[in-house]
Every structure is written in C-alpha cells, then in structure tokens.
Structure 1
C-alpha cells in the first residue's frame, strides 16, 4: 500500500509537470505566432504604397457578384467587384480594405490583350466593324463570317470585321478560341470577365483598340453579334456628301430615357453611379456607326466618368461630356430593332436589324442576295 501510494503521488507529480510543460509550450507557440503576424503586417504595410483611387474601381449591380482580376500597364493586379449591395468597396490582391470610393475611372488601360491582330489595319480600312461576342458563341461568329462579315470591299472601300471577346473561363475553351483564331485571324481577346454586367468594359476596350490600333480608319461600327447588317446600305450612308467625317455617331436614337431605379431590373443603375433621372440622348447599343476620331476622345472622356452597366447610355454620357450629340440618320427606318414581319419587310433597304438566331442572319443575307 505504501509503495502504491508513493507510486501514485509520483505519477501525479509527473502529470502536473507534463501539463505544465504543455501549457508553457502552447503559450510560447501562441506568442511566436502573434509576433510573426505583427512582423508580417509591418513588413507588408511598409512595402505597399498608398493606392491611388484613380487607378481602380468597382461597379454595382443588383443580382450577382462578379470578381474581376485585371493587370494594369504597371503590372499591378486589380480587382473589380460587381456587388449585390449599394456599398462600393475597393479591393486589391495585397489587402482588402472596405473604403468608400467617391471617384471612379472607367479606363481600358487597366486591361491587356491576350489575342490580338495588331496588323489588321495596315491596309488602311475605310470601315471597321467591331463585334462584341461571348467566347462560346462560335455559331454567331461563323454566321457573320459567312455573310456580312465576309465583305472586305464595298463600293471600292476596304472593310474589316473583327470580334472582341473576354476571358473564356477555362484552359480547354481558351485553346479552342486560339485554334479558331489561327484559322480566321479575326479575334481580339482582352482579360476581362465576359458577362452582361461588363458590357461597358467591353465597349471601352473596343474604343481603346480602335484608337490605338486603327486610328487611320475613316469610320467604325460597334455591332452586336445577333445583328444583320446591310453593309452596302451602310457604305452608301457613309459615302454620302452630307455625312460628317468628324464628331459623328448615328444609329437607332434613344431620346428622353428614364434611368431605371428598380433593383429587380437588369437595367437598374443606382443614384451613386448616375445621379440624374434621365440619360442624355444616346444611340442604341445593338449597332451604331461613328467617325473614327471619336474612340480616342470617348476613352479620354471616360477618365472622369463613373462607369455603369448600361453601355450605350454610358457612351452617351461620355459624348455629352465632349459636347457631341448623336446625329439622326437621314432615313431613321434603316436602323431597326426586331421586325414584326421579316418576310414582308424589304430587307434590301435596312442598314441594321436584329436577327433572332445565327440561322436567321444567314436567311436575311440570302434573301437580300437573291433579290439583287
């Protein structure tokens, strides 16, 4: 019994010592971790300069959240957030500080080109048709390539058609896109997330490409991938003696349009991003043509304009800042949206109209060619 009692006391003492050692080790481990964290924070903060709010920004939408990582000309990575709430938050890959930003810059120099065709304008095209399209919409691109996008010379003037896409979302899709471009040499790809809420970014990248890669062109057109274009009629408009060669933009004009404040609408824009109740007169984004001096000026104006997700209205606000009003077409009926009765309508007289599918683009094209 005495031996057992002595053995038990000895074990208890050893347990106390072990527990003491464990507690001491745990305290030292926590202290070491906290010390390393403080050192890392001080070191990281000392190496990160104060961010200029003019170099990055976030947009707000009402339904989803998109994180958009970009790399600017300086090589610094930037994140654009499309948030579900009304708080505008700035975020960088180095740190995430919730700081309200009151000035934003919608400027395409935040992006670079993954696929590019820098020599396409070496033949001095008179007209450049730029088609924003989703990376996966191969059928739409092929329909255009086999119809109006295949015209390289109209009324003796050189015409160029290019497709602009954003990120594909995966290596397999990217490889397919690159193989497609090797075949057709008509794709321009930039490193933004390709989504509906980024259409303003997409349009500004188009403007930047035109300004930097093709300033010698006379006219350009931003035209959606679901559009039928009668390039012959478009060229007749551009060659008319009364068509201006500078500060000119025309298409389907939108007058006196209210800003949508209903958060359930995909066209919703907050007062923070656009405080006025109505947009200035702008040209419907499905297809508008402009003199090629405008892209550079629009990009410049965008430096001081808050971006919002209604891309055609945003271009309209940039034009208003430049003191430029969209022009009414000599025959406004040539710029159409959907046709109620495409079979009974004379397609040979239109410049633009919306097709309901790639197949219908081909049908419209064939119909006009048959009646020539």
Structure 2
C-alpha cells in the first residue's frame, strides 16, 4: 500500500470515529444537561415532572415525576372561559417523551401509576375525607379558569353552607405548561387561601382530560372510599347542592333510595353518538384510536354521580386500559360496558332554555327539582339561581314552624332546611326575609 492510500485510509478512519462520537455520545450528554437544568430552581414549570423542588403550597412532593403527553397550546376546559387567554389547539404529541436516565417506571397498580403514566404524583394534594363526608364533589377545572372557580365558591360550594353539610368540594387541575411559572405561583396562593385544589403532574390540556378523570377516581378510591357518592362535575355547571342534601336527608323521597344503589352511575346519558372524523372538529378521532362508527352509551363529563363500588371498578379497569383521550367515552362508555356497569338516566336536568325560563319567571325552581344545569352557564345566571335556591330553603321554616303539625314529608323537609340552611350575608337576603327575622 503506497503512502497516498495509507493517508486516505487514516482520514476515513478519523471521519468514521468523529461520526460515531457525534451520533452515539451526544444524547447522553444532552440528557445529563436537561436533568441538571430541570433539577434547579430556575427550571420551567413544564418540566416540573422531573424537578426536585417543592410545590408552591409548601407540601412535600412525593416520588419521581415523569412528563406525560402534552398539548403544545394549553386550554383544557371543554368550553372556552371568558378569562382564558389562549385558543384551543388540537396539536399534540402522540407519544410521551422518554424517561430521564434517573427515572424508573413504577409498577402498574402502584400509587405512582396512573394508566400509562409511570411516575404520577400530586403536585398539590389535600387531606383525606373526614368520616362525616357522605358525598365528595370533584370539580374538573382548567388552570386559568379563575373566575369559574370563584363563582362556584361564592354560590353552590360556598363554604359557609358546605361546611354544615355532609358534602365536600375539591377542584382538580393539571400542570400549568411551559413558561407558566406565574400560573403555578398563582395556584399556590389560591390553594393556600382556599385549601381546595388537587393538581396532577400532567399538562392541563384537552388530550389529557382522561388523566384528570382517572385521577378523580383514584383520589376518591384512596382517600374518600367510605363516602356514599362521588360527583364529578365541570366548572361551568351549576350544581344544586341543597337539593342533593335534601335527597340524602329525606328517606321518603324516591331519590334517597336511588342514591343508595351500590351500582349507581347516574347522568344524562348520550346514546349512539357518531364518532367525529372530520379534520375541522377538535373532537376528531382517528380509526386507529377508535375504529367503530358510534360510541357506546356514555355519560357526558359535565355531571356524573358514582357509587363507591362503581368508582373502584372503573378505576381498576382504567389502570389496565389503553389510553383514549375522550375521557367520558372511555370511562363511562367503554369501561362501563366492559365492567357490566349500567347507566341510570338522570331525569331532572336544566338545559340552557330551561335556565332562561327559570330566570325569567316562566318556571318554578322545584317543578321539577334538578341537580345540575347544562354546561356553559354564565356567572350572573349562577348567582341568580343560587339566590333562588337560598330563598326556597328558608321557605319551609316560615311555612312550617316547630309549633305547627305539618305533613310527614313537609316535616322532613322542614327538618332538613333547619339543619342545613346556609348562612348568607345580610346583603344577599331579600327584604321579605329580613322582615321575618331570618337575616
């Protein structure tokens, strides 16, 4: 071999060595740099899944955190909020990014396992339910839906009322997303003030709503399983909590025995809903994601009532299920069908036209009584309906004083009203009530 050929051979070997170093050695170096960036206090909130810093609330974080499927633009609520600052996007990552080298997946069924998330953790958590809690209400909310949470806290989840009932209300949110440290700080302050937020370490986004739904089942199953009911409701729905308390406290009502059914899955169900295939729909589902033409009967997620046994069955089935991002269909449709869970149809439900009739005086609050309105209720509508509910609660106290002899049902209702009548600031009480000394 002459000198020229030898030189070319050496050059080729060096080039191959450089290519090998670039292609093989660089990823571990980048991975180490990413881990170092995320573990520092200056890391972005979107990387909170691998951070070792504590949540803003001061509670100790638990376990390693992995980063699940993420939406690039973050707008998780079903209905855009008046105070939301971004539009809904369907752009999403089809598969989760790989785990960092320091992370090891948790085994299925462990407390750190949520469906296909191997390192699930609560970024914010709440104490387990007291023994007196009979109904846990978990409100699915978006990180930026501040106004919606405020309206709920001032109306049907007003603490001055709820704390005197066997109900407990908690809001569920996900992670704040990239470059949103201020939102995480805000959530920390909100939770410090109200103590009613639970946050999971997945991005709060449309394609992650199933994680939030299963997180609700998980939290109930692990921290409130002794309760009689779980209610899952969206943050743009008005829930008639006094009516639910009335059902719980009045054995003579048929709804009382219905709510004791161990197989209860109660909602305004949807049957033979066609799967959206058009690219223009934000609810578009591919044939690979779901091959059938129609969904099975399922519960729209805006308002669902579960018995504890149903929560346990659906949670266990979800833990073994393939991820499907349309949470209502997966949990209350596909998995309910697989577990032999039948849907009980909710009879009384206020649609938007019914809300308008009620507020205009064209309908009565209890003819028929209702537990939920449809979604997208406006703040002023919630406030007005809540005041109407408060007025109705106090009416039996005026109509059936203790010295009278009312009928059995009226007596039971009067007893309920006396026990659970909420305390409302005098500024919210009508002149007629003030004149009767109920302020």
Bin for the TM-score computed over the shorter chain: 0.7 to 0.9
Task: Flag the structure with higher strand content.
Answer: 1
TM-score (norm 1): 0.73
Offset from partner CA, 1:176-198 (integer Å, 9 cap, x none): 11111111111111111112222
2:331 counterpart of 1:311: no
CA contact (8 A) 2:270 2:297 kept: yes
Compute the displacement of 1:360 (Å). 2.2
For residues 43 and 108 of structure 1, the distance between their equivalents in structure 2, rounded to whole angstroms, comes to 23
Match of 1:337 in 2: 351
For residues 91 and 23 of structure 2, the distance between their equivalents in structure 1, rounded to whole angstroms, comes to 33
For residues 369 and 321 of structure 1, the distance between their equivalents in structure 2, rounded to whole angstroms, comes to 42
Match of 1:346 in 2: 364
2:284 counterpart of 1:273: no
Match of 2:313 in 1: 297
Q: SS state of the match for residue 306, structure 2?
A: strand
CA contact (8 A) 2:69 2:202 kept: no
2:132 counterpart of 1:116: no
Runs of 4 or more consecutive aligned structure 1 residues displaced over 6 Å after TM superposition: 23-29, 41-44, 82-87, 152-156
Offset from partner CA, 1:123-154 (integer Å, 9 cap, x none): 44100110011112121111111111126777
Q: How does 1:211-360 map to 2 (within 5 A)?
A: 211-237=221-247, 240-315=256-331, 316-329=333-346, 332=347, 334-340=348-354, 341=356, 342-343=358-359, 344-348=362-366, 349-354=369-374, 355-360=376-381
CA contact (8 A) 1:154 1:232 kept: no
CA contact (8 A) 1:339 1:353 kept: no
For residues 161 and 109 of structure 1, the distance between their equivalents in structure 2, rounded to whole angstroms, comes to 28
Return closer, same or farther for 1:307/1:93 CA change in 2, 3 Å cut-off.
closer
For residues 149 and 386 of structure 2, the distance between their equivalents in structure 1, rounded to whole angstroms, comes to 14
TM-score (norm 2): 0.62
Match of 2:37 in 1: none
Return closer, same or farther for 1:173/1:29 CA change in 2, 3 Å cut-off.
farther
The alignment's C-alpha RMSD in Å is: 3.6
Compute the displacement of 1:319 (Å). 0.8
Return closer, same or farther for 1:89/1:175 CA change in 2, 3 Å cut-off.
closer
Compute the displacement of 1:33 (Å). 2.9
Q: Paired residues, what number? A: 314
2:114 counterpart of 1:129: no
CA contact (8 A) 2:92 2:207 kept: no
For residues 308 and 180 of structure 1, the distance between their equivalents in structure 2, rounded to whole angstroms, comes to 31
Compute the displacement of 1:74 (Å). 7.6
For residues 353 and 314 of structure 1, the distance between their equivalents in structure 2, rounded to whole angstroms, comes to 23
For residues 377 and 297 of structure 2, the distance between their equivalents in structure 1, rounded to whole angstroms, comes to 27
For residues 279 and 80 of structure 1, the distance between their equivalents in structure 2, rounded to whole angstroms, comes to 24
For residues 362 and 149 of structure 1, the distance between their equivalents in structure 2, rounded to whole angstroms, comes to 12
Which of the pair has more CA radius of gyration?
A: 1
Match of 2:182 in 1: 172
For residues 263 and 131 of structure 1, the distance between their equivalents in structure 2, rounded to whole angstroms, comes to 30
- Structure 1: which 5+ residue stretches go unaligned? 1-22, 45-66, 96-104
